[in-house]
C-alpha cells in the first residue's frame, strides 16, 4: 500500500478540508468547494474520499466526464467506497455504457454483502488510517473469529505498522486453515520478505506461481525475493517478460523498467541499466526515484535538458514528498559534477531536510545504546564465555560507518580465490532485535543484557543458525564469505560470543569526508537516518568512535582497523595487512579488484569497478563553506578518529 503523503507543517488536516468541501457543496457553493478540494488533493493526493467528494461536485455541475474521472480515481485508490460505485453505475448508464454500469453495480452489491465493519476497516486501510482500521477490525473479529478475510486484513495492517512477527503468525495460521487462499499467501510472502526471510518468501512465491505462473503480482513477488537473495540475473529476464506482455498503466511500466535497471546495475551492465532508467522516465517523467537512480550510479553525467526536466518536476507543488527528496539529491549530484557547489548544496540540504522531518532518528538514543553496550559487554563477560560459540572461521565481517570504504574492502576481499562476497546481510541485526528488542527511534538494541542470559548451548546454536541462514548467499563454494553490513559495529559483542572464529574488519574514514559523503547520500527509506542532519552525523560518528574504542579495550586485537585514506595512499601494503589478518595468502587479483565481476548492491557499485582514486579524500572541501556545523559538532573527533 502507498502511504499518504505527509501534510506540510501548519496545513489543515484532510478531514477538516473534506468537511469544509461537503458543507460548501450542501449550500450549492460549488466553485468554492472545488477550490477546497484542489487544496486537499495538493496535500493528500491519495485520499480516496476527496476524489469521491470531487465526483459529487462535478455531478452537481453537470460535468459528467470530470465526475467519472474523479470517481474512477476514488475507487482505484479505495475499492471499498459503496457510494462511489453507486454513482459510477448511474453515470455509466447515463452515458450509454450498460456493461460498465453493470460492473459498477456488481461491485456495489458485493460490498453490501460484506459486514459493514469489514468494509469500513478496508476503507480506512486504503486511505492510510491504519490505527483506526485496526481498532475496527479487531473489534469485529472478537464477534466473528471465522472470517478469513478479516484476519487477512488485520495481518496487512500489522505489516504496514511494522508488526511483522504478528503478521507472519496470523497469516501462517490462516494458511493452515485455508491453504488455497492465494491472496493471503501473497501477503505472507510479503511479510516474510520484509522480515528479512527472503528464502522462505521465495518458496511461498514459488507455490503461488505453481498455481498461476502468469499472475503478474506473483511474478513480481518472486522477483523481489530473488533480488533480496542476491539473484539478480534471473529477474532481468522476468521483468523483461512482464514488460513485453504489456503494462496496465504507465506507472507499472515505470516501476518495471526501474526494477530491471536496478538489477542490471548490480550485475555490472551499466549501459543497459541507463537505458531502462530512461525508459522508466519516459513512462513517468517526474519519477524521482529513477532520476536519483541515474545520479546514484555516480558515473552518470546529466545533460542540460535533463537538469531542466528535473528542475521543472521539482517545481510541481503536487509532487509527493519522496519524489521531492529523490529529485533534490539527484540535482545535488548533477550540479556537483558541474562544479556549481552552492546550487548543489542547496539541493542536498533541501532533500535532507525533508527526509529528516519524516524520520525518527535521535542522536541521544544512539548515545544511550553505546552506554548500555559498554556496561553489558565487559572483558570479564568475554573471558567467562570464551569458546562458547560456533568456531567456524568462515565469516568475515566488514563494519564501520556507511560511506567509509567498506564496499571497496569487500570488493578487494571478494577478488581472493578463497573468499566469496555476498551482500549487506541482515541476520546479525535480526538476531539482536529478537533477543534485545529495538528502540523505536534508531532500531538499536534496547536490552543487550538479554544476550548474557543465553547459556553455552544457546550461544553456540545461534552461531550455527547464522551459518545455516547465510548458506543461501554462498553459491561459489569458497571457504570464506563476507558479511558487509556496516551497522554490525553495534553488534561486535554478539558476534564475538556466537562466532568467536570470525574475522572482523573496521573500515574508518576521516570524519569530514565521511560526514559529507553520508549527508549527500540518500539511503533506503528506513536506513541510516542519522545522515540527514550535520549535527546528527557528528554525534553518530562520535558514538561510533566511543563504541569501537570500547571493543578495542575489552577485545584487544580482535578487530582490524583499516584506514580508508591509508588504503588509497598505499593499496599494496594495506591489502597485504588485511589478508594477513584474515589468515589468507596474498593474491595479485586483490590489487586488480576492479576487474572482478560480481554483483554489488551498494551506492559504491560503479566506483569499485574502477581503479582506486584519490578524489574521495578531498571532495568535501568543495563544500567547506557550509560544513562548519559538522566540524564544530565533531569536536576532537576530527583528530581522535586516528587513535
- pLDDT tens profile 76-90: 999 999 999 999 999
pLDDT in tens, 106-120: 999 999 999 999 999
Domain with CATH 3.40.50.300 in the chain: 363-571
**Percentage, residues of the chain above pLDDT 70:** 95
Distance CA 475, CA 599 (A): 12
Quick one: pLDDT at residue 341? 97
Per-residue confidence (pLDDT) for residue 9, from 0 to 100 = 39
Give the per-residue pLDDT at 607.
Answer: 53
Question: 419 pairs with which residues across the strands?
Answer: 480
Average pLDDT, rounded, for the chain: 92
The per-residue pLDDT for 595 is 82
pLDDT of residue 603: 53
Greater pLDDT, 187 or 14:
187
Which tens digit of pLDDT belongs to each residue from 38-58?
999 888 888 999 999 999 999
Residue predicted with more confidence, 3 or 233: 233
pLDDT of 45: 87
Query: What's residue 458's pLDDT?
Result: 98
Question: pLDDT grade, residue 601 (50/70/90)?
Answer: very low
In order of 50, 220, 252, the CA distances from 214 in angstroms are: 35, 10, 16
Q: Are 362 and 529 in contact (CB under 8 A)?
A: no
pLDDT at 403 over 60: yes
What average pLDDT does range 465-488 have in this prediction? 94
Is the CA virtual torsion 101, 107, 113, 117 positive or negative? negative
In this predicted structure, the answer to whether residue 548 has a pLDDT above a threshold of 50 is yes
Q: What pLDDT sits at residue 267?
A: 87
Least confident of 342-351, 358-367, 369-378, 525-534: 525-534
pLDDT at 13: 86
Mean pLDDT to the nearest integer, 152-168: 93
pLDDT of 461 strictly over 80:
yes
0.85 cut: is pTM over it? no
Cα–Cα nearest to 261, from 272, 251, 247: 272
CA distance 433 to 451: 11
In 555-623, which residue ranges form alpha helices assigned H by DSSP?
A: 564-569, 571-581, 615-618
Region 147-152: mean pLDDT is 96
CA distance to 227, 341, 410, 443, 612, per residue, from 599 (Å): 11, 32, 11, 28, 18
pLDDT score of 10 more than 50: no
Which of 391-400, 526-535, 614-623 shows the highest mean pLDDT?
A: 391-400
1, pLDDT greater than 80: no
From residue 312, alpha-carbon distances to 13, 248, 289, 565 in Å are 28, 27, 15, 39
Which pLDDT tens digit goes with each residue over 189-219? 999 999 889 999 999 999 999 999 999 999 9
pLDDT in tens, 127-143: 999 999 999 999 999 99
At residue 617, the pLDDT reads 82
- pLDDT beyond 60 at 609: no
Contact between 504 and 399 (Cβ < 8 Å) = yes
Question: Cell 460490498 belongs to which residue?
Answer: 111
Percent of the chain with pLDDT strictly greater than 90:
86
CA gap 2, 14 in Å, rounded: 17
Query: Between residues 610 and 30, which one has the greater pLDDT?
Result: 30
C-alpha cell read off for 487: 551497522
Q: DSSP letter at 149?
A: H
Say whether pLDDT at 272 is over 60: yes
Q: What is the pLDDT of residue 453?
A: 97
Topology classification of domain 363-571: Rossmann fold (3.40.50)
In the block, cell 488485520 appears at 154
Amino acid at each position: 500500500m502507498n502511504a499518504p503523503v505527509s501534510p506540510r507543517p501548519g496545513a489543515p488536516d484532510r478531514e477538516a478540508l473534506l468537511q469544509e468541501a461537503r458543507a460548501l457543496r450542501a449550500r450549492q457553493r460549488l466553485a468554492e468547494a472545488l477550490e477546497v478540494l484542489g487544496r486537499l488533493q495538493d496535500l493528500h493526493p491519495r485520499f480516496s474520499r476527496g476524489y469521491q467528494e470531487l465526483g459529487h461536485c462535478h455531478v452537481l455541475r453537470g460535468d459528467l466526464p470530470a465526475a467519472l474521472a474523479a470517481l474512477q480515481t476514488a475507487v482505484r485508490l479505495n475499492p471499498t467506497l459503496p457510494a462511489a460505485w453507486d454513482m459510477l453505475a448511474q453515470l455509466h448508464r447515463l452515458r450509454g455504457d450498460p456493461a460498465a454500469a453493470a460492473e459498477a453495480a456488481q461491485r456495489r452489491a458485493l460490498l453490501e454483502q460484506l459486514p459493514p465493519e469489514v468494509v469500513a476497516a478496508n476503507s480506512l486501510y486504503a486511505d492510510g488510517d491504519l490505527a483506526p482500521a485496526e481498532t475496527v477490525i479487531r473489534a469485529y473479529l472478537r464477534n466473528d473469529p471465522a472470517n478469513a478475510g478479516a484476519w487477512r486484513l488485520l495481518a496487512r495492517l500489522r505489516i504496514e505498522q511494522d508488526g511483522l512477527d504478528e503478521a507472519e503468525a496470523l497469516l501462517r495460521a490462516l494458511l493452515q486453515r485455508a491453504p488455497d487462499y492465494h491472496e493471503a499467501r501473497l501477503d505472507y510472502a510479503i511479510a516474510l520478505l520484509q522480515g528479512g526471510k527472503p528464502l522462505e518468501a521465495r518458496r511461498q512465491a514459488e507455490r503461488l506461481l505453481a498455481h498461476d505462473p502468469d499472475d503478474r503480482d506473483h511474478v513480481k513477488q518472486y522477483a523481489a525475493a530473488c533480488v533480496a537473495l542476491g539473484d539478480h540475473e534471473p529477474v532481468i529476464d522476468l521483468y523483461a517478460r512482464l514488460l513485453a506482455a504489456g503494462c496496465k498503466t504507465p506507472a507499472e511500466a515505470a516501476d518495471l523498467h526501474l526494477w530491471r535497471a536496478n538489477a542490471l546495475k548490480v550485475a555490472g551492465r551499466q549501459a543497459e541499466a541507463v537505458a531502462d532508467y530512461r525508459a522508466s522516465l519516459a513512462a513517468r517523467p517526474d519519477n524521482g526515484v529513477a532520476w536519483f537512480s541515474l545520479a546514484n550510479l555516480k558515473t552518470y553525467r546529466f545533460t542540460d535538458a535533463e537538469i531542466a526536466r528535473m528542475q521543472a518536476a521539482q517545481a510541481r507543488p503536487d509532487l509527493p514528498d519522496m519524489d521531492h527528496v529523490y529529485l533534490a539529491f539527484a540535482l545535488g549530484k548533477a550540479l556537483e559534477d558541474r562544479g556549481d557547489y552552492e546550487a548543489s548544496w542547496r539541493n542536498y540540504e533541501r532533500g535532507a531536510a525533508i527526509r529528516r522531518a519524516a524520520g525518527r532518528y535521535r542522536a541521544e538514543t544512539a548515545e544511550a545504546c553505546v552506554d548500555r553496550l559498554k556496561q553489558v559487554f565487559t572483558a570479564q563477560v568475554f573471558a567467562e564465555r570464551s569458546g562458547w560459540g560456533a568456531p567456524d572461521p568462515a565469516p568475515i565481517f566488514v563494519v564501520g560507518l556507511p560511506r567509509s570504504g567498506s564496499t571497496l574492502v569487500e570488493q578487494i576481499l571478494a577478488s581472493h580465490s578463497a573468499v566469496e562476497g555476498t551482500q549487506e546481510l541482515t541476520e546479525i541485526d535480526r538476531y539482536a532485535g529478537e533477543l534485545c528488542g529495538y528502540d523505536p527511534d534508531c532500531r538499536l538494541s534496547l536490552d543487550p543484557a538479554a544476550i548474557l542470559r543465553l547459556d553455552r548451548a544457546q550461544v553456540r546454536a545461534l552461531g550455527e543458525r547464522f551459518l545455516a541462514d547465510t548458506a543461501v548467499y554462498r553459491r561459489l563454494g569458497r571457504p570464506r564469505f563476507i558479511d558487509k553490513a556496516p551497522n554490525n559495529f553495534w553488534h561486535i559483542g554478539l558476534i564475538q560470543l556466537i562466532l568467536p572464529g570470525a574475522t572482523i574488519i573496521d573500515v574508518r574514514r576521516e570524519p569530514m569526508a565521511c560526514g559529507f559523503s553520508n549527508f549527500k547520500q540518500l539511503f533506503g527509506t528506513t536506513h541510516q537516518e542519522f545522515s540527514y542532519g550535520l549535527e546528527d552525523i557528528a554525534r553518530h560518528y562520535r558514538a561510533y568512535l566511543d563504541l569501537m574504542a570500547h571493543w578495542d579495550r575489552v577485545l584487544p586485537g580482535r578487530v582490524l582497523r583499516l584506514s580508508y585514506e591509508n588504503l588509497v595512499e598505499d593499496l599494496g601494503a594495506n591489502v597485504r595487512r588485511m589478508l594477513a589478518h584474515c589468515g589468507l595468502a596474498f593474491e595479485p587479483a586483490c590489487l586488480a579488484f576492479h576487474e572482478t565481476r560480481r554483483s554489488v548492491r551498494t551506492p559504491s557499485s560503479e566506483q569499485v569497478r574502477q581503479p582506486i582514486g584519490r578524489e574521495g579524500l578531498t571532495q568535501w572541501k568543495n563544500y567547506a563553506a557550509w560544513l562548519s556545523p559538522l566540524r564544530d559538532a565533531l569536536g576532537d573527533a576530527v583528530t581522535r578518529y586516528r587513535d
